Structure 1
């Protein structure tokens, strides 16, 4: 899928497209990477097609929803879900086990920092649920991490607009 196709989707589906693609990414499902979608959404906002604040809020809401879903899968499914997940994605087993240990030690600050690290940011929700981290603490630390991450990417598209567009096309 090329950048031109993505801009057609933006035009056709509007801000819902941003929400959907970012949700897929935070669920760790295949799709177009939000690291590309979010700057494009920022460019879209810079061109006046949609409000920057709307794009940012939608991307954060999608990120938090995806994080909650994985948290509850980890919490409700626990070890069974972990075993299923690592059978499907065996390369992520060591990362998940490492993060379970970190979260037991660091708690909410560990979630916040993890939300700022590529690849880890989507996976940290599963171990947080598995260790039954306090949901409010988890939500606040996730929200702050998702907000910072998404603000950087949407903001880059918004403020660098044409330069980012020229790199992507």
Structure 2
């Protein structure tokens, strides 16, 4: 799918589309990646004089809510869920191990670090839940990482979108 098609979807569905796609991406579901959607949201925000703050806020709320769902899956499904995930998708097993290692070595700061790394940023929620990390602390360390990741993509579209469209 090209950027023009994504922009047309945004013209039709607006920030609701951004929320849904980012939420689903933070659930680690396949589909249209937020790495395409968030810059497109930034482009449209700049073209339509929309608030950059509002666009980033909606993406962060969607990311946090998706992360909460995965945290709860990890909390209640724990190691059993991670084992089944690793068996069903063998390529993700090294990612699960790497995310677990970062959490063990860095603790809560590891949650923040994982939020800034592709793939690890969504898996870390399940692992944090499975090790019964304090929920409030999980949110406190997740939110800034989600904010920085999303801001980077949206900011790029907002300020440099015309370069992509030429």
Shorter-chain TM band: over 0.9
Distance 2:48 2:2 in 1: 22
1:11 and 2:11 aligned: yes
Deviations 1:73-127 (A, max 9, x none): 0111012211221122211112212322331332211010110011111111111
Alignment correspondent of 1:126: 126
**Aligned counterparts, 1:15-34, within 5 A:** 15-34=15-34
Alignment correspondent of 2:99: 99
Distance 1:156 1:5 in 2: 18
CA contact 1:20–1:62 (8 Å) conserved in 2: yes
**Aligned counterparts, 1:1-169, within 5 A:** 1-48=1-48, 50-166=50-166
After TM superposition, give the deviation of residue 49 of structure 1 in Å: 5.5
Bigger CA drift: 129-138 or 42-51?
Answer: 42-51
CA contact 1:107–1:133 (8 Å) conserved in 2: no
Structure 2, unmatched stretches of 5+, are none
TM-score by length of structure 1 reads 0.92
Aligned length: 166
Distance 1:158 1:59 in 2: 14
CA contact 1:74–1:129 (8 Å) conserved in 2: yes
Structure 1, unmatched stretches of 5+, are none
RMSD: 1.3
CA contact 2:60–2:147 (8 Å) conserved in 1: yes
After TM superposition, give the deviation of residue 144 of structure 1 in Å: 0.4
Distance 1:3 1:158 in 2: 14
CA contact 1:21–1:32 (8 Å) conserved in 2: yes
**Which ranges of 4 or more aligned residues in structure 1 deviate by more than 6 Å?**
none
CA contact 2:102–2:114 (8 Å) conserved in 1: no
